[in-house]
Structure formats: C-alpha cells, structure tokens
Structure 1
C-alpha cells in the first residue's frame, strides 16, 4: 500500500464524480463515491481479506465488523463511534474499482467533539485494500482523493487508529507528504494528519503522479509486441503503411497483423481477429474504418492489450465516446484518434508505428504534435539538421495521451534533451503549465504558437475536433511556463538548432562580425529588430581586435573584418570577442568575395575548428549564400548553427536569451502585486453565481468590478438605461476629438459587431440620441442598457480606417475583441481546487 498514483481526470472536490486514475505501475482504476447499492461489493471485499489483514483493519478478525463496515457505506448502520455526526455531510466513502471489481475503500466521518468553535474540524478515517492489490498505490491514491474532498468540506485534520504492527498503513500516512503526528498507546497508534496543503504535499503528489504516468506510457512507447489491426493488402492503405514501417524500421519486438481476408501481408502472418493472436500484444495500432474502431478497441481490451494507437479518422460523437469509455474500462492508454502514429527511435526499440514516408532519424529531440503534417515537417527538419528524435507521438484528437504526458516521459526517459510541441488545444492548461515549468528547467521546450487568428482557430477545430485555446491565454501560459513559442515551424527548427548546439547566451548583447559591410548592416538591423543589443566594444577591446585583423578593418560593432580577412585572423577575432565578457554572443555574417584572402570554406572553418574557443558564449554563423534556411556545421567540439538569413539567426538568439532570463528566476517565484483585492473579486463572482447558479457571461458592470479588483486599467465608460442618460454620459466622456461610442448590451451578447450593436464616431447630442433610438427600435425587447465610451485613439501602427473599426477599450466591453469572462458552477471553486485530481491532458 505504499505505491504511488495519480489522477487522470478532474472532479470537483465538494461532490466527487467518478474519476479514472493511474496506479504506480500504470494500471488504470476508477475512483468513485460509495453508494447504497455497494453494500454487497464492500462486504465481499472484506470477506475476501485474509484473517491477518482483517485483524489489522478491525483489530479483530470479526465477520461482524465486516458487516458493519459494509452497512455503513450503504447508510444502514451506526457510524465509526458514538460521537459521529450523521447529518448527511459528515460521512464520505470513496471506492476503487478495476474492470468493475471493487479493490479498495477509503472513508471518513467527522467527529463531534466541540472543536468546530475553534475552526478545527476533524474526521476519523478508515482504509482497506484487496489482498492481491497491495503495494500498487491504491491506498495512497484513495487518501489523496479523500483529502481533496475533505478539505473542500472544511475538514482540517484526519485521525486514524492503527495497530502498531501495521507498518504498511503507517507508512502510507507518512508518505502522503502531510504533517502527521503519532501517539503510541500500548499496541495501538493514534495518527493525526493535518490537511493543510504544503509544498511538501504538492511535491509528493506531483512525484507520485509523474511516476504513475510514465509507467502507464511504457507499453505505448517501449512495447515488446505490437499488432496492426487493419493491415491491408492494398498498396497505399494506412494499415499496410504502418506495418511496412514497423517491418523496415527494425522493430525489436514481436510483430502481428490482423486481416480476416489475407494469410500474410508484407511477409507477416496475419490472423482473422484480435482474439486469435498467439499472445497478448502490449500495443495495438487500429487502422480500421471509423465505424469499426469501438469494436476493435473492445476486442483489444478484453484480450488484455495495454495501449492503443488509433490512426483512424472521422469518428462521430458516439464512436468517440465509446472508444474512450472502452479504453478507460480496460485501462488502455490511447494515442489519437485521427493521428499519424508514433515512433521510438531508441536503438533497443526501433519502433516506427507511423504511416510517414520516411523513418525518423534517431536522436535526442522529443516531438509531440496534433497535426500529422506538422509532425512530418518536424521529423524531416530534425533529420536534416542531424538532431533526430528520441520519440515522436502524433496526438491527433488527443482523447487521452497529451503533451503533458509526453513532457513527463521525456523528463524521465534518459535520452531526450530537447522537447518540440505543436499543440492547438489544452485539456488541462493548469496541469500542463505545472509540468512544463518543471521540465523546462531540465531541457528547452519549444512550440509553434498555432491558432493565433480566428481563421487559424477555426481550422484547428475542424481537424482536431477540439476548440483551440484563446491566443491570450495560450501565450500567457507559454511565457509563465518558460516555453519558447515561435510563429512557424521554420522558426522553431531554427531556434532548436541553436539551443541544441550552443550554450545559452547570458544576456542579449551581441557582437556582429562580417567580411562585407552590407551584410553587417543587415545583421545589425535584424538583431535590433529582434530585441538584441549591439553594445560598444570599448577602446581596449577595439585595439585588440584591430590588431589581429587586416588593414582597413573597423571594430565598432558591427566589426567589419573586410574581404581580405584570413581564416586565422577571423578565428582570432571571434575568440577575442567571445572571451571579452563585453558581449553574450557572437554572430558572424559571411559572404563569398572574389578578393578574399581565404576561401569561403576556410572562413567557415575558422568558426568550427577552434579547439581553444570558450564554450560559455554561443557563436552563430550567417552564410548568405547557403541554400538551406538553417544547418548545423560539424565542429571539433560539437556543431555550429548556420543560417541563410540574419533575421532567423537574430530571432533564434533572442529566444535563447529569453530562456536564460526565465531560468534565472527562482522556481516557484510568485510576484508581489500591489493593488490586488482578491476577496473583492471572489465576492463579485460568488454574487453572480448566487443569482445565476447555471453560470453565464458577466455583464459590463460586473466585468468592471472584476477588473478593478485586480488593478487592470479600463477606458472611461458609463452605463446608460435611457436616451437622456446616454447623452449626459457622452458629454462627460467625449475625447479631445469629441467622438464617443455606444454599445448595446443584453444578457448573453458576446460579439456586438456581429449583431450590429455598436455605433462608432458619434459626435454631438443629435447623433448620440439617433444611435440610442436605433438600438431601442432593433433591440428594445432585449436590451438592458448601453455602454458609453470615448472613441479610443488609433494605435500607432494602425491605419485611420482600422482605428475606426476597433476599440482599445477593455476587452470585456469591446464588441470586436474577446468575449467577457464567463462564470460557471464548475469554475466557481477554482481557487480551492486540489492538485490531486487534475487531468493529465
């Protein structure tokens, strides 16, 4: 009972819903509240326990004790003790099931000892696990969920009595990570577990979750046997392509194929169905029509398959729900559906279960993508760079296995040193951010910031069947988690090349060296535009640099080494700059010239053959004549990135410098913010939900209150419910140009421009009155009032036309910007949520 576990789905702590969770060995179980109908199952659980374990649980090996425990779950019996409360809220039982069989139970009941007056509420707890399921983390997992529910119910401490010889249950309490006190009384031990959430507890929960998650992924990414279900004979079929890649990729395990209409496919003996396989494969690749996916998954689950990759696309809602339910019921991890497949290039695995045209090049970059096309582009780019991949997963519609799972796998696989992601949506942004903040301190995490526009988000929803995360939310998540977010696949590969091959720059100071003045100008512009600085080098460093360069060179920054520079002179110049401490990186821009003292290859060799070059400063090349956007030049002590465009090099350096700044922040830093009134914000949300229990979108006045509570500046505005009020407000709020804006409002209105509920460029009383009357005529049966604001000034980079179609007013009021904050019953207790029931998505 001392193993670890982690939840795979989230449930409100105040009323626990069934939640699938992972045990320490990766087994999936179901945790759910106990019900009256569970009486017989609970009784059977206790009756199956050995006399010794029954004695440790009840202090006596008594059948009567088992009957009372079962009756308590069903609400038929007296509670733990005579001082217990039976008011409907003081008792809770959580059950653990595996494939419909009860394997564990944890329960608490509050005690009525008068301590509630001091704000201390305690509860007695009891825990039991099936004899055959000990040491797999069930007890710990049940207690984590019970702690979460108890804290939400206002309980501050658990108490438990155990026999002193019951070392296993005492170790479970001690390993939780919560403050636990013990008092020995003869042969018994009284344990008091404080439920105050501490860093130690969160760390323990996180570690247990990570261990369980990684264990559950082993059959998916390091299987010892694989079956392709739907391995077709027809060339060009997806199943056949997957089987071909498994065969030609050198998979080291056993390989099977299912095809009821063929004896062999690509030399692999086939079987008519999954049940006919000679052994249970660990991994199944489903490449069958969408309508057949649930039945094929059910066959695999009944046989005992541990993981699925579903490359099939086009599942409707019922088929999708059935697939996920089947995987959870049988404890199978699922990649996809609607995906390219997955691969593990480790030499002792060599798994290529994709239908890509080429095998992944072995290496050290972990890749997870939602788009198969982006995945193919990244695999090709990494192979061209020579970086290669450790493992690759196409997440597709991401029903189960997610980017969060893959980050935890790469953190522990002992091979990956660079993580590349392409995610269009996040099942649980909070869990993803928590994992990314930890993993990115070990390795760079780079992503493509996909879905930045309405068109991009719509396209993402059309091919992954999941709504893309709003741009502002996603970008804030990336910044806070230390993820390097790029704007294209090309920029991602360019940044990955630098971070893979060079040390991080200590800052953003760059020295530019060139053999052609024009190239230096372009490179200096690119660096400045990217946010880098070109500092003066100082008189002493200038003298030293000029001393090693040919006559006519300049050393201001950029350093113009002239077309006459030799290989040795350029090498000495770069060495001096890198070792000077005046700059954080050296960017060398080279062009071939007819008068060069050294050939182009020789000048490049000055950057790559420098055995005494200090490695604590990155050196980057820009070769304006090269064909590839980026490549890694072999060097004596590694590789040097070379870019065809100075802008690409500058952006890569800027991303690297940003990573340095993020790493310099102490882990867990929470900034102290002035002017924040969180209780006021909570009260605003609570007041809204009290009046609208079903949830909904906040109105303008509630939005203003919420923004004000967090010190977020707002453009001046007024609320008007009559034409005269609107005129008075417009006179008071009009800007220097005398122009105002009127925005109609009614509950549920999100996009005012789409409803034509917005009037701009209003000047004078007459126009304000006309605008209000127009709203009243069209929306009078709906409208509750109007928002009056001065016309926002045009942004400096906007045209006059665009300034009249969008407002810089706070986003909760603007008719053309993002929708207002939404409050719902599920988001209401967000600041109370326990980390023990977070999804791995």
Structure 2
C-alpha cells in the first residue's frame, strides 16, 4: 500500500464554518487527550464502549506513535483547537481498514464527522484501501447515520448490542451527488455574510472625491442598503456622509462584510484585524499584492473563516429586496432583475452591466472575482442555483481553479437556467508537451471548449455575442430544432438573412405546398412563400402579424426570423411593422426574433407585453449565432440522460502495478517500451494488431514468418526511448514480402540509427480501412482529455479533431464520433460500408477508463486506429507516464 501525506486543507462545515483538515502527528498527543477528556461520559461510552480514561489515553498514544504503514489519522481544527479526529488502521493481508471517529461534543450536528470521513476515504483510496469497517454500539444512532448518509455503499451486521458496518469506498454517482449536496449547502451558507450582509464597513474610503473607496461608500449609501454602514479612516470624522471611526476595533458592532481599499502592503494586516474581531467576509478591491502579501491575505482569511472576494476587483452587488447592496465603484447602480453575473475582469464587468442595462435585463447579483483567491465562479453558480432570484447566469472566467468540479456544478445548474460565458484566452499557444500527436492536438482552447460543451454552457467569443445570446435566451422559448423560417419585407434582406442562418449551421427548409398556400392567401399580391418568405414592401401590419403567427404555430419550422427595413410604403400608410412582432394575440410556442438593419444598437429587446420581449438585432449574422446558441442549449437539455458505461475485461489493479513498476525503474517518467505499452493496453482490452519484438535480424525474420507466413507482407518499425514520429524519422518499412526484404530493412535501420536503436516491432501489414486517431493527454488543470479524429500521417496537417474531458459518458463518445469533419466516413459516406461504430465507442470508453485509473498517464497516442465494417484495431500505440499523485477533484476543500 502507498502512503501519501497531503498538505493541510480548509473546508466548510454545514453551517459555513471553515475548518482545517490535516494529518495528525506526534505533536497532537495532548490535543487528542484533551478532546476525549472534554467529552461527556455518554459520548465516551459510545466511542469506546466504556467510560474509563484508559481508552482515551491509549487513543492519544496511538495517534502520537511514530509513523507506521497502514495507519492514518486526520484532525479537524478550528481556531487552532482540535475538534474532530478520524483514523484508519489497515487490516493485515487485506484491502480493508478499520476506522474510528470522534467529534467534540460542542461540534456535533455540524458535519465535522462526515467531512473527516470524506477526506479519510480519499487518503485510504490513495493507499490502495477499498473498504472501511467500523464497530459501534447499536444505540449509537448518530454515528450510524453518518455512515449511512455518506452516500457510499454501506452494510450493517448486528451482533447483540454491537453493529459492524462495512463501507465500500468506491466512488459512484450516488456518492458524488451526496458530496455535491453537502458542498452546495455549506457553500451557500458561507456566502451569506458576503452577499446578504446585515452591516458593511469600508476600510480605506478616502476624503478625496475621486478615490475608489469613497466611490464604493457612496454607492453603498446611494444604492439603498438598509443595514448599518461604517467607514474606517485614521483621521476623518465623516466620509461621504458616513460617520468614520479610526479603526475597526472602534466600530459600534462587528460588520458582516468589510470592503478593503487600502494600499497593498496594508491589506493583510487589515484582514488579520478583521479576522480577530469576528468579521465573516472580505471584499478586497486593492490591487498589486506581491506573493508574500497574497499568502498573508489568504492565510488570514482561512485561519479566521472569512470568505474572500478579490483582490484586484470592481466589487460586488446584490439587488434582492431587503439587501440592495452596491459595493462597487461602477458608475451606475445595477438594476434589479434575475441575471447573475460573475467576472474576473472589472472592465468586462462594467461592459456586461452596461449591456444588460441597455437591454433592460436586471441583475440579481454581480461579483467581480478579480484575482480569485477564494470565491470563484463555482461558488457563484451554487449561490444562483439556491438564491430563489436568478434564472440566467453570465460568467467571464480567465482561469479555472478546479475545472472538473466547476463542470459538474455547471452541468447541474445549466439544467435549471442558461449559463453563458465568454471563452477568453482562445489565442493561447497550444502546448507541445512532447510533440506527440495527442499533445499537439490538445490545445488549451480545445480543452476549454470540451468543458463548456459537456457542461451545457453557452460559450461565446465576444461580450457582444454573449449579450446577443442572453437577449434571446432571456426573452424567448427554446427552439425544438434548427429549422428556421425567414420572413422579410424586402427580398434582398431576406436572402442575406437566409445566408446568415445557413452559414451559422441552421436549416432554412422549403415550406410545404399547403403552408405556402396559406401564407400567400394572407399576404399582398406578388409575395413569395418558399422560404425565405418575401412579403413585399406592401405588407401591412396585420398581414405580417398573422403570417408570423401562422409560422410560429406550425410544425414546419422551429423558429421565425423576421428581417424588416423601413419603406416609404409603410411610412405613407402609417403601418408599424415592428409592432406586428410585439402585438401577438397570445404567447407563441416558438422563438421569434427580428433583424432591423436600421436599428442603432447591436441588439435590443422590444417590449411585447408585461412578461414578453422580442429580441431585435441590427445584423442577421448576430441573430443567427444567437439562435444557434439557443438551439444548442435545447438539444443539450433534450438529450437522453448521460451515463458512463461499465466495461468488461478491465484489469485496473494490473494496470496500476505496471505503471508503478515502470516509474520505480524510471523515476523521472518517460515513454513506455512496446512490450509494456501492449501489456497496459491489454489491461483495458484495447484491440491491437498482432506484433512481435525483435532485437536482431534473425529474430525479425522469425517474427515475420510467425506472424504473416512465408508469403504475406509485414511492417517493421524501429524503436528507441523517446521516438515519437516514426514516419518523419523514416523509421518504418512497409510491405516487406520475404525474409530477404526483412533482413535488408533491419540492416537499414541499424545502419542509420546505430546504437540508439533498441529493437524493432514486426507486424503483419494491415488490411485497408479508415485511418483514425485517438489519444489522451493529462492537462495539469483540467485533468485527462480524450482526443479523436482523422488519423494516419495527415493527423497534424489536417487537424481534424474533437475532444472531451474524461470520464466519457455515452453522449460524450457520440459527440466525439460525430464532431470531426471526417465523421461521414464512419457512417457510410458515398455508399461505402459504415465502420464498426460499436467497436469505436468501446475503444474510446476504454481509453477514458485508462486515463481515469492512472493519473500517471501523461499521454497516450493511438495512431493509426484502423476502422472497418468488421472491427477496429490499433496499429501503433505510444504511452508516456510521469510521476503524479492521484487527486480527487470532487473532494470538498477550499481553494
């Protein structure tokens, strides 16, 4: 079993309190003894099955004994005091460990025990332990409930007054959902002092009218915040009409939230003073902190259990009734509404707030995350999910602290509301970790896009595009598909709108004869209704209204796009064609959007009635992109429930052993040799073409005869550690037909590569098929990414890839197979037979499983993968391992 000693972490209890989780050691003897001495006799009896002091002394000695294999003790601390202890002791010759749990009496029912067990289970899994056992008194209902509520599979066996619990440590969806729920509830409670404070103090509000602190103070007062507001200034008696005190300690009460706007060197001292006084939340607007100052700020926040926004941020606002807090230095107060906004860039935040205000979309809460030391986009998503006010989430994130946890949260939240983001940083150069095919393909942009796609996040390229999509998602129902009816009062404008829709990936289908006849009967003479529908300039307001209504209620299309230009005919008759879109007699079941080229603003929301608006765009391309985003969201919501299938013929333990053996022999990591690579792929039943390893000419000839017989052709591939691109190095010979050619090929490789050559791989020449590429790369931030696309020597030239983050669901695999441009080749393009799709699906699932099982797997490169009607096989596999500790992205801990 492997012993791993993790660094201490902080995490949240159910009431939002921050505690510190760390390994207990020899210095904890006194603290452990005190923990037990302060327990009630009843608690001691339930813990030790007796009330004597001997058991407590023995427990303290056990924790403080010299480190021994198979034993782990985790301590939970608050304010430097031990409040909980969880231990396991591995049983001899088994992958099971016996556990014990103790929580201080004053900390019961706050989630200490559950949190400790989550972390203890993670440490145990890392050490190779698969199950916990625990003995308890049958009357100890509280600890039995803790085991039951963990979400792990638990069984009980009663023996008189005692019960033995067996807890399977396998993480599954039930367990992860339970952890999600606990984390969400704790997170939301911890954010209340930040987003719903009862009192606020501003430290650093200057007397100068142009100072940032003064602007924030004025916004808090002018925004209607009903709680108490304080200013802290060493000299001023009053700032912006607010009574000022010389220090935080001099305030009449301890504020829930402190806004810090002091110079960088003073920030940590202010934070420490806030923590000692009992402040619950910090908003640090100050910028320019160096590494030491940053560590001191975060350290103070963690020690004293304060949630922290910033530093280097614009501030935050909450428009809920009873809160009305505007702690920003933005020029305008955000209007109340239902859009939650979180940004890292203050400038982007101002642009989004301004754009939403122009659209008339109000904000529920706004948080400028700044350098994001603590509170993140993940926190805000969970707040919006629970606040009862938000139905639209807008994010601008430049970095991700825990992308897989963020993806899991976003995937859940996106089920209840649209989640939109600007995909910032798209031009970052792709990594070339070892210049392998997989590393070359897996750029950061592709990785981020995979995260957004899988989580159901609407990712846009610009702020303008985000506002375009937000306007449509906020105002109109989702389309059922991608079929669009284009209606215009000028033929040329209709053609441009139809082109924009088609180029964006929408379908502008011809309308059936019956529907065309219905429309022509409504419209002026000379109108056409094939789609686009040209109503002519003579169309009247009522005619256009009925036409749009008929299309929106007919099943032939999924959305109606109406392009209108002002004409002299409409002006002369007093007809208001735009009003035809806002005066629908009843809500329409399909989205309707307008394109008004004469409109000044990029996008506007036209008020239809008290509850309905119609988005109007100045450019048809903007409208079409917004509609694509809406259709994509509808498709994501309507897709079948995703699942990660269970795979047969997987030997995880053997795979882990192979990885451990290789890294023991190569502590620095590296590319596996062909034999180890084949063995590892075999652990996951990844199909491979038959092959043989040869170290000299005679072995190569014997291998060729054994694999292909005397007349069949073979392939010979050179090998040496670090060789990646065999074709570029001319380290491969194809179509060798007899022993003489095999000998000649081997001599050629020896002549050209000399001592660097460690051997050759001999394979039979594969039959014809579609050459594909599949691979995995471990992203340091995002985790394992599975890449799939066109293979062979043109892999990097054509760059026809798709990617998804592991673990892959059945839906992810479907997307991987259908997203690349080469996908028609897989499904029978041009009358050719379809390849073995089931085999490809299995290959990708098995690759995903391997990546999930082995955190040491840095890269896997399967190229080419040969797919045909009768099967799938891999012709060449490259695998690179590097030392890496397992890391559970879903374990509850603060950043």
* TM-score category of the 2 structures, normalised to the smaller one: 0.7 to 0.9
Of the three residues 597, 601, 608, the one matched with 2:582 is: 608
- Contact 1:566–1:598 (CA<8 Å) still a contact in 2? no
Of the three residues 238, 243, 252, the one matched with 2:226 is: 252
Query: What is residue 37 of structure 2 aligned with on the other side?
Result: 47
Matches within 5 A, 1:131-142: 131-142=105-116
In 1, Cα distance between equivalents of 2:879 and 2:207: 53
Deviations 1:599-646 (A, max 9, x none): 6872111111112343x2100111111101111111125111011110
- Contact 1:182–1:191 (CA<8 Å) still a contact in 2? yes
Deviations 1:569-613 (A, max 9, x none): 111111111111010000000000012388687211111111234
Query: C-alpha displacement at 1:383, in angstroms?
Result: 1.0
Q: Does 1:278 align with 2:252?
A: yes
Query: What is residue 68 of structure 1 aligned with on the other side?
Result: 58
Of the three residues 25, 28, 42, the one matched with 2:18 is: 28
Query: What is residue 608 of structure 2 aligned with on the other side?
Result: 635
In 2, Cα distance between equivalents of 1:238 and 1:552: 63
Query: What is residue 365 of structure 1 aligned with on the other side?
Result: 339
Matches within 5 A, 1:226-245: 226-245=200-219
Query: What is residue 780 of structure 2 aligned with on the other side?
Result: none
In 2, Cα distance between equivalents of 1:568 and 1:179: 64
Of the three residues 312, 320, 327, the one matched with 2:301 is: 327
Q: Does 1:89 align with 2:62?
A: no
Query: What is residue 624 of structure 1 aligned with on the other side?
Result: 597
Kindly tell me: are residues 315 and 793 of structure 1, through their superposed partners in 2, closer, same or farther at Cα, counting changes over 3 Å?
closer
Query: C-alpha displacement at 1:369, in angstroms?
Result: 0.6
- Contact 1:563–1:597 (CA<8 Å) still a contact in 2? no
Kindly tell me: are residues 746 and 453 of structure 1, through their superposed partners in 2, closer, same or farther at Cα, counting changes over 3 Å?
farther
- Contact 1:369–1:396 (CA<8 Å) still a contact in 2? yes
Query: What is residue 200 of structure 1 aligned with on the other side?
Result: 174
Query: What is residue 354 of structure 1 aligned with on the other side?
Result: 328
Query: C-alpha displacement at 1:792, in angstroms?
Result: 8.0
Matches within 5 A, 1:349-428: 349-428=323-402
Q: Does 1:104 align with 2:84?
A: yes
In 1, Cα distance between equivalents of 2:758 and 2:332: 61
- Contact 2:528–2:534 (CA<8 Å) still a contact in 1? yes
Matches within 5 A, 1:700-719: none
SS of aligned partner of 1:441: coil
Query: What is residue 543 of structure 1 aligned with on the other side?
Result: 517
Of the three residues 511, 518, 522, the one matched with 2:492 is: 518
Of the three residues 78, 98, 111, the one matched with 1:124 is: 98
- Contact 1:592–1:599 (CA<8 Å) still a contact in 2? no
Kindly tell me: are residues 194 and 707 of structure 1, through their superposed partners in 2, closer, same or farther at Cα, counting changes over 3 Å?
closer
Deviations 1:730-771 (A, max 9, x none): xxxxxxxxxxxxxxx998x99x9xxxxx999xxxxxxxxxxx
Query: C-alpha displacement at 1:302, in angstroms?
Result: 0.7
Kindly tell me: are residues 671 and 188 of structure 1, through their superposed partners in 2, closer, same or farther at Cα, counting changes over 3 Å?
closer
Deviations 1:178-232 (A, max 9, x none): 2222333333333222323332222111110111111111111111111111111
Kindly tell me: are residues 131 and 288 of structure 1, through their superposed partners in 2, closer, same or farther at Cα, counting changes over 3 Å?
same
Q: Does 1:574 align with 2:548?
A: yes
In 2, Cα distance between equivalents of 1:711 and 1:372: 51
SS of aligned partner of 1:454: coil
In 1, Cα distance between equivalents of 2:144 and 2:506: 57
Kindly tell me: are residues 54 and 172 of structure 1, through their superposed partners in 2, closer, same or farther at Cα, counting changes over 3 Å?
same
- Contact 1:703–1:821 (CA<8 Å) still a contact in 2? yes
Q: Does 1:438 align with 2:438?
A: no
SS of aligned partner of 1:60: coil
- Contact 1:514–1:558 (CA<8 Å) still a contact in 2? yes
Q: Does 1:37 align with 2:95?
A: no
Query: What is residue 826 of structure 1 aligned with on the other side?
Result: 884
Query: C-alpha displacement at 1:90, in angstroms?
Result: 2.1
Task: Report the number of matched residues.
Answer: 735
Q: Which range moved further: 183-192 or 635-644?
A: 183-192
Query: C-alpha displacement at 1:366, in angstroms?
Result: 0.6
Query: C-alpha displacement at 1:675, in angstroms?
Result: 13
- Contact 2:593–2:614 (CA<8 Å) still a contact in 1? yes
Q: Does 1:559 align with 2:533?
A: yes
Kindly tell me: are residues 499 and 673 of structure 1, through their superposed partners in 2, closer, same or farther at Cα, counting changes over 3 Å?
farther
Query: C-alpha displacement at 1:155, in angstroms?
Result: 2.5
Kindly tell me: are residues 678 and 425 of structure 1, through their superposed partners in 2, closer, same or farther at Cα, counting changes over 3 Å?
farther
SS of aligned partner of 2:390: coil
Query: C-alpha displacement at 1:154, in angstroms?
Result: 2.8
- Contact 1:243–1:353 (CA<8 Å) still a contact in 2? yes
In 2, Cα distance between equivalents of 1:440 and 1:562: 41
Query: C-alpha displacement at 1:686, in angstroms?
Result: 5.3
SS of aligned partner of 1:596: helix
In 2, Cα distance between equivalents of 1:245 and 1:180: 54
Q: Which range moved further: 498-507 or 701-710?
A: 701-710
In 2, Cα distance between equivalents of 1:234 and 1:661: 54
Query: C-alpha displacement at 1:702, in angstroms?
Result: 11
In 2, Cα distance between equivalents of 1:280 and 1:469: 48
Matches within 5 A, 1:473-488: 473-488=447-462
Deviations 1:121-142 (A, max 9, x none): 3322211111111110001111
Unaligned runs of 5+ in 2: 432-441, 688-719, 731-753, 760-791, 801-821, 823-858, 864-877
In 1, Cα distance between equivalents of 2:559 and 2:44: 68
SS of aligned partner of 1:480: helix
Deviations 1:364-391 (A, max 9, x none): 0111111000000000111111111111
In 1, Cα distance between equivalents of 2:82 and 2:651: 47
In 2, Cα distance between equivalents of 1:167 and 1:488: 55
- What TM-score results when the alignment is normalised by the length of structure 1? 0.80
In 2, Cα distance between equivalents of 1:185 and 1:707: 46
Query: C-alpha displacement at 1:158, in angstroms?
Result: 2.1
Query: C-alpha displacement at 1:473, in angstroms?
Result: 1.1
Query: C-alpha displacement at 1:58, in angstroms?
Result: 1.5
In 2, Cα distance between equivalents of 1:574 and 1:368: 37
Query: What is residue 730 of structure 1 aligned with on the other side?
Result: none
Of the three residues 17, 30, 34, the one matched with 2:7 is: 17
Deviations 1:684-722 (A, max 9, x none): 865664455356799999999999999999xxxxxxxxx
Deviations 1:307-360 (A, max 9, x none): 111111111111111111111111111111111111111121011111111111
- Contact 1:13–1:148 (CA<8 Å) still a contact in 2? no
- Contact 2:487–2:532 (CA<8 Å) still a contact in 1? yes
- Contact 1:575–1:613 (CA<8 Å) still a contact in 2? no
Q: Which range moved further: 360-369 or 688-697?
A: 688-697
Of the three residues 50, 56, 59, the one matched with 2:46 is: 56
Query: What is residue 769 of structure 1 aligned with on the other side?
Result: none
- Contact 1:431–1:838 (CA<8 Å) still a contact in 2? no
SS of aligned partner of 2:569: coil
SS of aligned partner of 2:20: strand
Kindly tell me: are residues 126 and 686 of structure 1, through their superposed partners in 2, closer, same or farther at Cα, counting changes over 3 Å?
closer
In 1, Cα distance between equivalents of 2:253 and 2:879: 53
Unaligned runs of 5+ in 1: 1-11, 77-86, 458-467, 714-744, 753-757, 761-779, 798-807, 815-819
- What TM-score results when the alignment is normalised by the length of structure 2? 0.75
In 2, Cα distance between equivalents of 1:575 and 1:649: 19
Of the three residues 452, 457, 469, the one matched with 2:426 is: 452
Q: Does 1:291 align with 2:349?
A: no
Deviations 1:777-810 (A, max 9, x none): xxx9x9999xxx978897699xxxxxxxxxx9x9
